C-alpha cells in the first residue's frame, strides 16, 4: 500500500526549497489588520491591528490610524495569535548524538539540519519557536538551541544559543535505573573532582614556586592571585578558592557542565517514571539546578506530582496526554489525564508535539480542553509557559508591545479542528502564505509539483489534476506535468481532504523520511 | 599470601573505624570531601578555627544568616499520629511477652510499652489481640524496576535504592502488608555476578519518601555459580503472567570451573576493597609526612633567604663581569605523593572488607561452599552472610564457628528450578538453626510477588523443623540485626520506630489474620482497606 511516507519522499526529493511557500523576507516592518486578535495578554481585541517594526511589536490594539505607509496585511476574516512555542523537541536534526554518554561539550548547532522537512512543517503548523535538544538517550546529552523554522543557515534560524543541557534521569539503552543513576551522579562528581584538582594543583604550584624563589634568593614576582572567578551557583558542593584558576584552564569538555552548575545554562532532565523524577530532583538539589531545570516527563512520571509541586519545578509533558494502566485486581483499564493530574497539584506545565506533525501543539492544547482543562491554561501551555521555560518570556508567547513580531493568522479559533494557519509573520516578515504553499495544494488537489517523479496514483485519485487545476491563471501558478495513467504501479490510497487537519496540512510524516527520498 | 596482606592491611589500618552499627541517617557525605581534608593540612585547619574563636560569637552570628539551610526534596514531614494500642499480648521480642499491655506510639516512634501505661487524651485508641514487630524480608525484589533486577552489568557501588520505584506495584505491596511484611531489603541484579548495594525499605505504599528508606546502603550482594548467569552477564528473568520469574536457563551451562571463577571474584572484590582502603590510608600518611618535611624545608629556606639573596646578587654580578649568562640554581624537593584515584566500587568494597557493610554471598552447591569457606577464611573483618546455601548442611561447624548467618529461602522446588537449588529442601532452615547457626529467611529475591508469601514460607519451614521462636526471630529482630537496622525496627521496644502488626492471634499461625499494620507510626492498613 502506498503510504504517506512514500508519497512525501518523492515529493521532497530535490525540490525542497522550491516547494516552500515562503514570501521573500522583508524588512521586519508590517501592519497586520485582522478581525480578532488573541493576544494571550488580556482580553481579545476585535478588528485589531498589530504593528511590527524592526521585527518587534510596537503596537497592539484597535486600528485608530487607518492609513499606513508600510506593508499592510489586511485579513478581516482571520484571527491573529502568537506563534506556538515548542519547549522541547528532538526533531529537525541530522544524526544527533545519542552515543556518547556524557557529552556536555556537544552543541546541537552541529546537528540541526536547516533543510529538514521538519522546519517547513513547523512553519505550516505555526510553531515558530522551537527548542531543539539532542541526547534523549544519554546521561548528559548536549546543549540545545532555540530556533525559528525559517532560514537556510543555522545563524538565520537562531533565536537563542545554549538553550540548555539535556540530562537523562531515564535509563538509556543498555543501562538500568540503578546504573543510570550511578552514571549521572558520577558525571557531576567527575566535574567536582576535576575542579578540585585544578585548584589543588594551582596552590601546590604556587607553593613550589615560592620555595624555589626562596632557595634561589629571588624576590617573588608579584602575581595576581585572582585570575579566575569564584564558583557561582547554588550547588551544595562548592570548590573553595576557585578564583585562583583562570577559567580557561577548565577542561572544555566539562566546562558547559560547570556553567550549568553555576546556573548559567538551564537543564532539561528527561524522566521516564516517577522514580526518575526522584533521582532528577536529588541531582538538581545537589548540583544547584533547582531554579534552572525543567523536567521532561514521560510514562508514569506524573505520579511524582507531589514531589514536583513541592519543589515548584516546571515540566514539559510527553505528547501522550493520557496514561493508561491496568488495575491489578479488576484488570480494568485506568486512564489518567496527565495535564489534569498535574494541574490539580498546581504544577506549571508545557505541552509537547507528537513525533509526527498531525498532533502539533494546537492539537495537544485542544485535547486538553476536551479533557476538561481550562482553555486559557491549555493555550498558555503552548505559548507563554514554554516561552518562560526557554527564558524567552519577554520575547515570545503573547502579542504585546516590545515582543518579537511572531504572529499567526488563523482561519478561525486556534483550538478548532478546521482552523488552518493562513499566514505566518516571523519577526515582522511575512514568511508563509498558505495559498502559495505548494505542498498543501499538492495534498488538497493532488497536484504534482514540478521536478518530481510522476505519481500516477495522484492522478487517479484526482483526475482533474492531470489536466490542470483550479489555480490556473494565478500569477504564481506552476503548470503541472501531465502524467500517463499507464505508468501507475501502485494502487491508489484514500487521501483525506485537506480541511481536516488544517494545521498540519498532512500527517504521519517524520523528518527523516523527508530526506530518505 | 593472604595472611601477609591481611596483616599488613590490619597494621596499616590501626585504629580505622570499625563497623558502625548505627543506621546511617540518609546519604553519606560525598567522598570527594573526605579526600580534600588531608590535603589541607592540620596546621592550617587549627589556625583557622582559632581565628574564628578569637573573633567571638558575633562573627558566627553574622555568618549564619548568609548560609541557607540545606533544602530537602520535600517540605517538612507532617508529624505522625499518637496511637495507643491495647493488646492482650505484646510480643516485645522473641521470647519476651507482656500480657494485657499497651504500646504508645507518638510521631512515628514507640514511646512506651507496658502494662500500666497511661492513655493520653489525644491518642487514637486501637485494640488488638496480639501486637508484634512487622516482618522483614531479607531477600526481596519487590518494587525493583525490572531493568535493574535483570541487569548483569551492575557494580558493587550500583545502588538498589535507585532501582526501587516507590510508586510501583502498589497493589502487590498492599497485599504484602496484609501478610504482615512491612520492611524488606530490596536488591537489584538478582542473577548478576554482582548485585550491587542493597537498600532496606518500608513497603507500605503512599508513605513519604523520607520514611520509605531505612537505609540506602544496607549490604553488598555477590552471587556465585548461578546457572541463570551462565550466558555471561545478564540473567534470565522473564515476565510470566505479569510477574517477573526466574527461568531455568541452560542449567548445566556453567561448569565447575566457571563457578570457581565466580568464587575467585569474591576474593578479588575484597582485595580490591582492601587495596583501595590501603591506598587511601597510605596516601594520608605519606602526605602528612611530606607536608611535615616541606614545612621544615620552607622554614629553613625562609631563614636562609637573606643569605641566598646575597649569594645570588654576587653570582649575578660575577657572571656579568665575566660576560657569562647567569643561571639560576636548580631547586629540588621531594615530590608530593600522588593521590589515589577515586573509585566508587573500590570505596564500597573497602567498606565491605572492613565490615562496615555486610556482604551477602549467594552460594548453593557443596563444592562451591567448600571453596567459599576456604577462600574467605582470612577475611576476619568482613561480615559475610551466606545466601541460599542449598547444600550448606554439611558446613554447620564452619558457619557457627565463624558466626556466619545463613539467609534461607524456604520454598518447594518444582520442576524447572535451576540446578543450584537441587540440594534445597524445606528442612534446611530448621537443621541449620538446631546446629546453632543463625538463620534468617527471605523470599528469593527474583519474584517480586514472593515477598507477600514470606510468612507462609516461614510457616513451611516451621512445619519442617524450624522452631517457632526461631522463625519469628528470623522474620523480625534477627533480620533487622543482619541489615544493621536493629536499632530502628525488629522489636516492640521504646525508642524504636513503630513498625507493628496488630494481629487477632499468635503470629505465624495459619489462622491468624493481620488486622492492622502500622508503619513508621502511621496506620497503613486497616480492616477497611
Burial of B170 (0-12, 13-18, 19+ CB in 10 A): middle
**Inside any domain, residue B219:** yes
Sign of CA dihedral A152, A156, A161, A164: negative
To probe the interface with A, which of B166, B167, B295, B452 has the most A CB atoms within 10 Å?
Answer: B167
Instruction: Give the gap in angstroms from C-alpha B187 to the nearest C-alpha of chain A.
Output: 10
Question: SS3 for A229-293, per residue?
Answer: CCCCCCCCCCCCCHHHCCHHHCCCCCHHHHHHHCCCCCEEEEECCHHHHHHHHHHHHHCCCCCCE
Segment (H or E) for B54:
helix B42-55
| CATH code: domain of residue B391 | 3.20.20.140
Contact B310 A217 (CB under 8 A): yes
B196 CB neighbours in chain A (<8 A) are 178
Note whether A266 and A164 are within 8 A (CB): yes
- Nearest in space to A89 (alpha carbons), one of A60, A65, A118, A69: A118
- Interface residue B342 vs chain A (CB under 8 A): yes
**Inside any domain, residue B306:** no
C-beta atoms surrounding B124 within 10 Å: 12
Give residue B348's domain range: 135-275+343-485
A174, A214, A281 member nearest B308 (Cβ) = A214
- Interface residue B324 vs chain A (CB under 8 A): no
Give the pairing type, strands B406-408 and B439-441. Answer: parallel
Contact B331 A307 (CB under 8 A): no
User: How many whole angstroms separate alpha carbon A137 and alpha carbon A11?
Assistant: 32
- Interface residue B54 vs chain A (CB under 8 A): no
**Inside any domain, residue B317:** no
- Helix then strand count (H, E) for chain A reads 16, 19
User: How many whole angstroms separate alpha carbon A180 and alpha carbon B162?
Assistant: 9
- Nearest in space to A514 (alpha carbons), one of A113, A157, A22: A113
| CATH code: domain of residue B512 | 2.30.40.10
Burial of B415 (0-12, 13-18, 19+ CB in 10 A): exposed
Spacing of C-alpha B327 from chain mean position = 61
Per-residue pLDDT of chain B (529 residues; tens, 9 = 90+): 444 444 444 444 443 344 434 443 443 444 433 333 333 333 343 444 444 444 444 444 444 444 555 566 677 788 999 999 999 999 999 999 999 999 999 999 999 999 988 999 999 999 999 999 999 999 999 999 988 988 888 999 999 999 999 998 889 999 999 999 999 999 998 888 889 999 999 999 989 888 999 999 999 999 888 876 544 434 455 555 555 555 544 444 567 788 888 888 899 999 999 999 999 999 999 999 999 999 999 999 989 889 998 998 998 899 989 888 888 889 988 899 999 999 999 999 999 999 999 999 999 988 899 999 999 999 999 999 999 999 999 999 999 999 999 999 998 765 566 778 777 889 999 999 999 999 999 998 888 899 999 999 999 999 999 999 999 999 999 999 999 999 999 999 999 999 999 999 999 998 999 999 999 999 999 987 6
* Domains of chain A in sequence order: 4-20+438-516 (no CATH), 30-83+397-434 (2.30.40.10), 84-182+253-389 (3.20.20.140)
Do B158 and B259 lie in a common domain?
yes
Do B354 and B442 lie in a common domain?
yes
B39, B147, B305 member nearest A200 (Cβ) = B39
The gap between the terminal CA atoms of chain A, to the nearest Å, is 17
Contact B301 A275 (CB under 8 A): no
**Inside any domain, residue B68:** no
Contact A178 B302 (CB under 8 A): no
Instruction: Give the gap in angstroms from C-alpha A363 to the nearest C-alpha of chain B.
Output: 30
Contact B328 A216 (CB under 8 A): yes
Q: Hey, which bits of B231-349 come out as E strands? A: 237-240, 243-246
Q: In what order do the strands lie in the sheet with A127-132?
A: A84-89, A127-132, A145-147, A158-160
User: How many whole angstroms separate alpha carbon A67 and alpha carbon A75?
Assistant: 15
**Inside any domain, residue B324:** no
Angle at A64 between CA A60 and CA A69, to 5 degrees: 85
- Interface residue B165 vs chain A (CB under 8 A): yes
**Inside any domain, residue B338:** no
CB contact residues (below 8 A), chain B span 117-146, against chain A: 145
Strand partners, B200: B185, B215
User: How many whole angstroms separate alpha carbon A412 and alpha carbon A420?
Assistant: 7
B160, B172, B298 member nearest A178 (Cβ) = B160
Do B151 and B261 lie in a common domain?
yes
Do B372 and B263 lie in a common domain?
yes
- Main-chain dihedrals φ then ψ at residue A146, nearest 5 degrees: -100, 130
Q: Total domain count for chain B?
A: 2
Do B374 and B384 lie in a common domain?
yes
User: How many whole angstroms separate alpha carbon B143 and alpha carbon B480?
Assistant: 20
- Nearest in space to B412 (alpha carbons), one of B404, B420, B403, B421: B421
Note whether B182 and B501 are within 8 A (CB): yes
Do B117 and B249 lie in a common domain?
no
Q: Give the list of residues 6+ apart from residue A434 with CB closer than 8 angstroms, or none.
A: A21, A124, A420, A421, A422, A423, A440
CB contact residues (below 8 A), chain B span 187-246, against chain A: 188-189, 196, 209, 242
**Inside any domain, residue B281:** no
B165 CB neighbours in chain A (<8 A) are 177, 273-275
Do B187 and B96 lie in a common domain?
no
Question: How large is the angle between the packed helices B256-303 and B31-40, nearest 10 degrees?
Answer: 30
User: How many whole angstroms separate alpha carbon A123 and alpha carbon A423?
Assistant: 9
B36, B162, B301 member nearest A196 (Cβ) = B36
Do B360 and B417 lie in a common domain?
yes
Do B238 and B124 lie in a common domain?
no
C-beta atoms surrounding A387 within 10 Å: 27
Do B355 and B474 lie in a common domain?
yes
Question: How large is the angle between the packed helices A274-286 and A177-216, nearest 10 degrees?
Answer: 10
Query: Model confidence over A122-158: pLDDT tens digits?
Result: 999 999 999 999 988 899 999 999 999 999 899 999 9
**Inside any domain, residue B13:** no
Burial of B337 (0-12, 13-18, 19+ CB in 10 A): middle
Note whether A26 and A432 are within 8 A (CB): no
Which residue of B lies nearest to A238 if distances are taken between CA atoms?
A: B33
A181 CB neighbours in chain B (<8 A) are 159, 162
CA distances from residue B408 to B144, B401, B457, B506 in whole angstroms, order as listed: 21, 18, 10, 23
User: How many whole angstroms separate alpha carbon B157 and alpha carbon B137?
Assistant: 22
Query: Model confidence over A11-36: pLDDT tens digits?
Result: 333 334 433 444 445 688 999 999 99
User: How many whole angstroms separate alpha carbon B503 and alpha carbon B516?
Assistant: 7
Do B377 and B496 lie in a common domain?
no
Do B385 and B242 lie in a common domain?
yes
Amino acid at each position: 500500500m502506498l503510504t504517506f511516507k512514500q508519497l512525501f519522499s518523492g515529493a521532497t526529493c530535490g525540490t525542497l526549497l522550491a516547494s516552500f511557500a515562503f514570501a521573500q523576507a522583508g524588512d521586519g516592518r508590517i501592519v497586520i489588520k485582522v478581525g480578532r486578535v488573541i493576544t494571550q495578554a488580556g482580553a481579545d481585541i476585535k478588528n485589531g491591528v498589530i504593528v511590527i517594526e524592526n521585527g518587534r511589536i510596537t503596537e497592539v490594539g484597535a486600528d485608530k490610524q487607518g492609513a499606513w505607509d508600510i506593508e499592510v496585511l489586511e485579513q478581516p476574516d482571520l484571527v491573529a495569535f502568537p506563534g506556538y512555542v515548542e519547549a522541547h523537541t528532538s526533531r529537525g536534526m541530522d544524526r544527533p548524538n545519542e552515543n556518547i554518554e556524557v557529552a556536555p561539550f556537544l552543541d546541537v548547532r552541529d546537528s540541526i539540519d536547516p533543510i529538514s522537512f521538519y522546519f517547513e512543517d513547523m512553519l505550516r503548523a505555526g510553531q515558530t519557536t522551537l527548542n531543539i535538544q539532542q541526547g534523549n538517550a544519554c546521561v548528559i546529552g548536549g546543549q540545545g538551541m532555540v530556533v525559528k523554522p525559517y532560514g537556510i543557515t543555522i545563524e538565520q534560524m537562531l533565536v537563542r544559543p545554549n538553550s540548555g543541557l539535556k540530562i537523562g534521569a531515564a535509563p538509556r539503552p543498555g543501562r538500568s535505573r540503578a546504573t543510570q543513576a550511578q552514571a549521572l551522579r558520577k558525571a557531576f562528581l567527575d566535574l567536582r573532582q576535576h575542579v578540585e584538582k585544578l585548584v589543588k594543583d594551582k596552590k601546590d604550584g604556587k607553593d613550589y614556586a615560592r620555595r624555589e624563589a626562596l632557595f634561589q634568593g629571588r624576590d617573588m614576582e608579584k602575581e595576581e592571585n585572582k585570575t579566575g572567578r569564584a564558583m557561582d551557583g547554588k550547588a551544595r558542593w562548592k570548590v573553595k578558592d576557585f578564583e585562583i584558576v583562570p577559567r580557561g584552564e577548565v577542561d572544555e569538555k566539562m566546562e558547559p557542565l560547570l556553567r550549568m552548575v553555576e546556573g548559567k545554562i538551564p537543564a532539561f532532565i528527561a524522566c521516564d517514571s516517577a522514580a526518575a523524577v526522584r533521582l532528577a530532583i536529588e541531582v538538581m538539589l545537589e548540583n544547584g539546578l533547582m531554579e534552572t531545570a525543567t523536567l521532561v516527563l514521560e510514562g508514569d512520571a506524573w505520579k511524582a506530582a507531589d514531589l514536583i509541586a513541592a519543589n515548584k519545578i516546571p515540566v514539559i509533558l510527553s505528547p501522550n496526554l493520557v496514561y493508561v494502566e491496568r488495575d491489578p485486581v479488576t484488570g480494568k483499564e485506568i486512564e489518567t489525564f496527565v495535564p489534569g493530574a498535574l494541574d490539580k497539584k498546581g504544577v506549571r506545565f508545557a505541552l509537547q508535539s507528537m513525533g509526527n506533525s498531525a498532533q502539533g501543539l494546537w492539537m495537544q492544547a485542544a485535547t486538553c480542553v476536551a479533557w476538561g482543562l481550562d482553555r486559557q491554561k491549555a493555550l498558555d501551555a503552548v505559548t507563554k509557559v514554554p516561552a518562560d521555560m526557554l527564558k524567552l518570556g519577554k520575547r515570545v508567547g503573547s502579542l504585546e508591545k516590545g515582543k518579537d513580531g511572531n504572529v499567526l493568522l488563523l482561519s478561525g479559533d486556534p483550538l478548532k479542528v478546521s482552523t488552518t494557519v493562513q499566514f505566518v509573520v516571523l519577526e515582522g516578515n511575512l514568511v508563509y502564505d498558505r495559498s502559495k504553499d505548494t505542498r498543501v495544494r499538492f495534498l488538497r488537489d493532488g497536484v504534482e509539483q514540478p521536478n518530481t517523479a510522476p505519481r500516477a496514483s495522484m492522478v487517479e485519485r484526482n483526475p482533474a489534476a492531470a489536466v490542470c487545476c483550479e489555480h490556473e491563471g494565478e500569477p504564481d501558478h506552476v503548470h503541472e506535468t501531465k502524467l500517463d495513467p499507464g505508468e501507475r504501479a501502485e494502487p491508489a490510497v484514500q487521501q483525506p481532504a485537506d480541511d481536516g487537519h488544517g494545521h498540519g496540512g498532512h500527517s504521519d510524516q517524520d523528518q527523516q523520511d523527508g530526506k530518505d527520498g | 599470601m593472604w595472611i601477609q596482606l591481611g596483616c599488613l592491611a590490619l597494621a596499616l589500618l590501626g585504629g580505622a573505624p570499625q563497623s558502625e552499627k548505627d543506621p546511617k541517617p540518609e546519604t553519606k557525605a560525598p567522598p570527594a570531601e573526605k579526600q580534600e581534608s588531608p590535603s589541607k593540612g592540620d596546621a592550617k585547619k587549627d589556625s583557622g578555627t582559632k581565628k574564628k574563636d578569637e573573633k567571638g560569637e558575633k562573627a558566627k552570628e553574622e555568618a549564619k544568616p548568609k548560609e541557607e539551610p540545606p533544602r530537602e526534596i520535600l517540605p517538612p514531614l507532617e508529624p505522625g499520629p499518637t496511637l495507643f494500642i491495647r493488646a492482650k499480648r505484646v510480643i516485645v521480642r522473641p521470647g519476651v511477652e507482656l500480657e494485657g499491655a499497651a504500646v504508645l506510639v507518638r510521631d512515628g516512634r514507640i514511646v512506651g510499652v507496658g502494662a500500666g501505661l497511661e492513655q493520653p487524651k489525644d491518642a487514637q485508641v486501637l485494640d488488638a489481640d496480639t501486637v508484634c514487630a512487622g516482618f522483614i524480608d531479607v531477600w526481596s525484589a519487590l518494587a525493583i524496576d525490572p531493568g535493574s533486577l535483570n541487569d548483569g552489568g551492575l557494580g558493587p557501588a550500583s545502588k538498589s535504592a535507585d532501582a526501587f520505584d516507590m510508586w510501583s506495584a502498589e497493589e502487590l505491596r498492599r497485599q504484602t502488608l496484609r501478610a504482615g511484611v512491612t520492611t524488606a531489603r530490596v536488591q537489584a541484579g538478582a542473577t548478576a555476578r554482582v548485585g550491587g548495594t542493597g537498600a532496606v525499605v518500608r513497603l507500605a505504599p503512599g508513605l513519604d519518601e523520607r520514611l520509605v528508606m531505612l537505609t540506602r546502603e544496607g549490604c553488598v550482594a555477590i552471587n556465585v555459580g548461578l546457572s541463570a548467569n551462565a550466558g555471561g552477564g545478564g540473567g534470565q528473568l522473564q515476565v510470566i503472567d505479569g510477574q517477573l520469574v526466574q527461568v531455568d536457563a541452560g542449567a548445566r551451562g556453567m561448569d565447575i570451573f566457571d563457578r570457581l571463577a565466580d568464587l575467585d571474584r569474591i576474593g578479588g572484590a575484597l582485595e580490591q576493597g582492601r587495596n583501595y582502603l590501603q591506598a587511601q590510608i597510605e596516601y594520608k600518611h605519606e602526605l602528612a609526612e611530606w607536608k611535615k618535611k616541606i614545612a621544615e624545608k620552607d622554614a629553613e629556606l625562609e631563614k636562609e633567604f637573606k643569605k641566598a639573596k646575597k649569594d645570588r646578587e654576587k653570582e649575578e654580578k660575577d657572571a656579568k663581569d665575566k660576560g657569562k649568562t647567569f643561571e639560576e640554581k636548580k631547586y629540588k624537593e621531594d615530590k608530593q605523593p600522588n593521590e589515589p584515584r577515586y573509585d566508587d566500587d573500590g570505596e564500597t568494597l573497602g567498606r565491605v572488607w572492613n565490615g562496615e557493610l555486610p556482604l551477602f554471598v549467594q552460594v548453593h552447591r557443596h563444592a562451591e561452599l567448600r571453596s567459599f569457606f576456604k577462600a574467605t577464611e582470612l577475611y576476619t573483618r568482613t561480615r559475610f552472610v551466606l545466601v541460599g546455601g542449598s547444600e550448606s548442611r554439611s558446613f554447620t561447624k564452619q558457619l557457627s564457628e565463624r558466626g556466619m548467618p545463613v539467609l534461607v529461602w524456604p520454598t518447594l522446588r518444582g520442576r524447572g528450578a535451576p540446578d543450584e537449588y537441587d540440594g534445597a529442601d524445606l528442612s534446611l532452615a530448621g537443621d541449620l538453626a538446631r546446629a546453632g547457626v543463625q538463620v534468617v529467611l527471605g523470599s528469593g529475591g527474583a519474584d517480586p510477588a514472593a515477598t507477600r508469601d514470606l510468612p507462609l514460607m516461614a510457616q513451611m519451614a516451621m512445619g519442617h523443623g524450624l522452631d517457632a521462636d526461631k522463625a519469628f526471630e528470623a522474620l523480625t529482630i534477627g533480620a533487622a540485626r543482619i541489615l544493621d537496622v536493629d536499632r530502628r525496627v525488629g522489636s516492640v521496644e521504646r525508642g524504636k520506630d513503630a513498625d507493628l502488626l496488630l494481629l487477632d492471634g499468635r503470629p505465624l499461625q495459619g489462622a491468624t489474620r493481620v488486622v492492622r499494620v502500622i508503619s513508621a507510626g502511621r496506620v497503613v492498613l486497616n480492616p477497611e482497606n
